[in-house]
Amino acid sequence: MVLIVGLGNPGRKYAKTRHNVGFMVVDELAKKYNLLFREKNNYHIAELEMENKDIKIIKPNTYMNLSGLAVKDLVNEKVLNSLPESLIVIHDDLDIPLGKIKIKKNGSSGGHKGVQSIIDTLGTKNFIRIKIGIDKDPNYDVSDYVLSSFTKEEKSKIREKISEAVDSIFVIINQGVDKAMNIYNRK
């Protein structure tokens, strides 16, 4: 099984915010395959089979800093034994320029509370991250900035990168994370 987790905050209020880029990517993935999310416990889930792999796509119903609770519901021994390839987490990153994609396996949370929640809950850092840059604005408090919407100019750039992030998921699943890092981390 491969578990793909898009990080964001639930509710309409946050739907178009920078912090919800992970949700935007998994929504695009679901749209590409005509999948519908259904609500279950602490998350929304859509399922797909690809290359003889059972793929579960989730969006936690918890707020960002409790994302690990939703992930924990789906992680079993088989997933843990197959890390990092069995868990892909997609999230925003303030320290990366707007729209740049960076794929990483293992490592710290980099201060991202959703990623830290997953690390704390699972007791491991050994999973794949697809980070999408949202940049920083020194004129904003960090929490206000991540909860702000993209400008009109930023929206078109982010839409393109969301599609690219979906493509990167397929590369990870079909060709491995190292191949995906070689392709997307250089762009």
Q: Catalytic residue positions?
A: 19
Q: How would you class 12 by CB atoms within 10 Å of its CB: exposed for 0-12, middle for 13-18, buried for 19 or more?
A: exposed
CA distance 34 to 57: 13
Name the pairing type of β-strands 101-105 and 43-50: unpaired
CA distance 68 to 173: 22
| Residue of 126, 127, 144 lying closest to 136 (CA atoms) | 144
Q: What is the 3-state secondary structure (H, E, C) of 23-45?
A: HHHHHHHHHHCCCCCEEECCEEE
